[in-house]
Structure 1
Amino acid sequence: MKIALVHDYLTQRGGAERVFELLCQYFPEADVFTSLYDPEETIELGDRPVNTTRLQNIPGATKNFRLLAPFYYPAFQALDLEKYDLIISSTTSFAKGVKKRPDAMHICFCHNVTRFLWDTETYLKEYKDFRLYSPLIEKICKKLRALDFHYAQDPDLYIANSTTVAERIRDIYGKPAQVINYPINTSKFIFDDHKEDYFYVSSRMISYKRIDIIVEAFNWLGWSLRIAGDGPERERIQAKALENIQFLGYVSDAERTKYLSKARGVIIAALEDYGLVPIEANASGTPVIAYGAGGVLDTQIPNKTGVFFKKQSPEAIYDALVEFNRQSWDYAQIRHHALSNFSQEVFFAKVSKLMEQVCGFKPNQSLNSSIQVE
């Protein structure tokens, strides 16, 4: 069976790209396609050839990839995938729009519906020019929504990373989706049951992540908080923080692993579509304090792996932290929860079973020998 793996763009290294990296490891003989590729800024593919679209030839495209939104669907449609029996797309936006033979199968790992189109204000409001150009942006987005809906009908099977995303695929695209929670590379996270006296946030500094309300709660409490990450909101938020809050900026993977393992708890205030950070914290033996909506409902057990707060407000976070502080936590059990449910081995066993059911193809186990599992 000839397989093509397709991703929106390989110009950054986020959760979607980490999942695509796993798919590339699981299917080492598959051909890789994407719209834009910057090997210095994205996942490690070694010497593996990466096929790109004509957008790759535009000067500065990989740095300004968000500005090319109107051109992605035509670029993906122009890819020649006629020889492939199975197309596996990994997407939050445009890769689902590739063409296939009528008898070929297209399985779409949908990390979310195209968020900047269907929730435009939430997605773009932190960009300073959004209000100025919002009438023009809305006209463009209206046309792109129609295209997005049209091409969303093409995949034969959707796999969603969470119940929340499956509901969005159903409500917006009118398509059913199988839920398979995405994994983490459990071998990259270390267990430590000797916690230090600080809480930890690992996040981009953008408005919907709600770092502002976390900072306000910790201003009241006076407890130690360390925040890793950067973004357009950093300057504003940092100006409001007291001395008990430390802004780390960019941290390496090794530093991040240590912070996750040593923290008393990891805090997530955003409504996440899925969210790998809570699972990564659990794999480190660390409980979470999270806004109780979205993807965390699939991955966390209240009062076992963490606590939820019901409102995105500093008062709700304050109360959750006080509750968190009253409890004793079984760090080894928290890690066991992550390894048992969100390892790559568990994930690909489910994927393999589903692929066998829908297209009669069971990946040879020798193909995934390069994937590290515990």
Structure 2
Amino acid sequence: MKIALVHDYLTQRGGAERVFELLCQRYPNADIYTSLYDPEQTVALGDRLVHTTGLQKLPGAVKYFRMLAPLYFPAFRSLNLQDYDLVISSSSSFAKAVKKRKGARHICFCHNVTRFLWDTQTYLREYGDYRYFYPLIETIFHQMRKVDLAYAQEPDLYIANSSVVAHRIQKYYGKQALVINYPISSSNFTFSSKKDNFYLASARLISYKRIDVIIEAFNWLGWPLFIIGNGPERERLKAKALKNVQFLGHVTDSERSYLMSKARSVIVAALEDYGLVPVEANASGTPVIAYGAGGVLDTQLPGHTGVFFNRQTPDALHAALLDASQISWDYRKIRHHALSQFSEEAFFSKVEHVISEVGSVT
């Protein structure tokens, strides 16, 4: 069976990209396609050939990839995938639009519906330019929603990373989705039962991640906080932070693994569709303090692997941090939970059963 692996864009290093990296490792003979590729800023694909679209040739496209939203659908439709028996797309937005040949099958690992189109206010809340240009942006997005809905019918099967995402796929696209919780690359995370005196947040610095909530809570407490990640919100967030908050920017995978294992807790304030970061933290033996909605409801055991707060506000996080500081965590049990429930073996056992079932239909 000839397989094509397709991802929205390989210009950053987030949870969706880490899942795609696992797919690439699992299927070393598959061909890789994406709209834009920056090997310095995304997951490691070794010497694998990565096929890109015509957008790769546009000056500044890799740096300003978010500005090209209206161009991605035609870019993916232009990809020639006629030689492939199975197309596996990894998509939060555009890659699901690829066109397969007649008789082939298309499985979409859907990390979310196209969030900026279907949850625009939340996704772009902190962008000043969005407020000024709302009428124009909304007109464009209205047309793009129609296109997104049409191309959402292309996959033969959706695999959602959580029950929350499966519900959204049904709500917005009218498609049923099979829920398979995504795995972590467990070998990338080390365990430590000795924690240092700092807390950690690891996320792209964009508005819906609610790093602002985390910063304000830590400003009040004065506790050490390290923030891993880059994004358009970086300067605004740095202006809010006091000296106990440090922005580390991009770090290597080994540095990130070390920080995960030594942090007192990893903080997640976003409404995550699934969220690999909490599972990665648990695999490092580290508890999670998270906004109690979305994907963490599938992955965390309150009081055992983490603590939830029920509002995305600094005072709610502040209270959860104080509560968590009083718990005697069993770091080994936290790690065992993650490795037993969210391993690559458990994930691919389910995935390959699905592929065999879907691939057998001609």
TM-score range, shorter chain: over 0.9
Partner of 1:247: 247
CA distance in 2, matches of 1:2, 1:152: 23
Distance 1:2 1:41, change over 3 A: same
SS of residue matched to 1:129: helix
Stretch deviating more after TM superposition (329-338 or 122-131): 122-131
Q: Which AA in structure 2 matches 1:225?
A: L
Partner of 2:299: 299
CA distance in 1, matches of 2:64, 2:242: 35
Partner of 2:169: 169
Distance 1:46 1:325, change over 3 A: closer
Partner of 2:222: 222
1:40-98: CA deviation from partner (whole Å, max 9, x where unpaired) = 32222222222222222323222222222222222222222222111111111111111
CA contact (8 A) 1:260 1:284 kept: yes
Q: Which AA in structure 2 matches 1:265?
A: S
CA contact (8 A) 2:14 2:203 kept: no
CA contact (8 A) 2:124 2:208 kept: no
Question: How many positions carry a matched residue from both structures?
Answer: 361
1:5-36: CA deviation from partner (whole Å, max 9, x where unpaired) = 11112222222111111111111111222222
CA contact (8 A) 1:199 1:264 kept: yes
Partner of 2:149: 149
CA distance in 2, matches of 1:103, 1:231: 41
1:277-312: CA deviation from partner (whole Å, max 9, x where unpaired) = 111110110001100001111111111101111111
Partner of 1:202: 202
Distance 1:339 1:296, change over 3 A: same
CA distance in 2, matches of 1:354, 1:279: 23
Q: Superposed, which structure 2 residues align to 1:85-234 within 5 Å?
A: 85-234=85-234
TM-score by length of 2: 0.94
CA distance in 1, matches of 2:113, 2:344: 24
Partner of 1:269: 269
Q: Superposed, which structure 2 residues align to 1:336-347 within 5 Å?
A: 336-347=336-347
CA contact (8 A) 2:14 2:204 kept: no
CA distance in 2, matches of 1:288, 1:5: 32
Identity across matched positions, percent:
66
Partner of 1:366: none
Stretch deviating more after TM superposition (40-49 or 317-326): 40-49
Specify every segment of 5 or more residues in structure 2 that has no aligned partner in the other structure, as ranges.
Answer: none
State the Cα RMSD in Å: 1.7
Q: Which AA in structure 2 matches 1:123?
A: Y
Distance 1:62 1:224, change over 3 A: closer
SS of residue matched to 2:128: coil
Distance 1:17 1:130, change over 3 A: same
CA distance in 1, matches of 2:174, 2:262: 44
Q: Which AA in structure 1 matches 2:220?
A: W
Distance 1:206 1:47, change over 3 A: closer
CA distance in 2, matches of 1:221, 1:71: 45
Q: Which AA in structure 2 matches 1:155?
A: P
SS of residue matched to 2:139: helix
Q: Superposed, which structure 2 residues align to 1:15-54 within 5 Å?
A: 15-54=15-54
CA distance in 2, matches of 1:114, 1:344: 26
Q: Which AA in structure 1 matches 2:134?
A: S
CA distance in 1, matches of 2:238, 2:51: 41
1:320-372: CA deviation from partner (whole Å, max 9, x where unpaired) = 122212211110000011111112111111101122233239xxxxxxxxxxx
CA distance in 1, matches of 2:197, 2:22: 34
SS of residue matched to 1:289: strand
CA contact (8 A) 1:126 1:232 kept: no
Q: Superposed, which structure 2 residues align to 1:352-363 within 5 Å?
A: 352-360=352-360
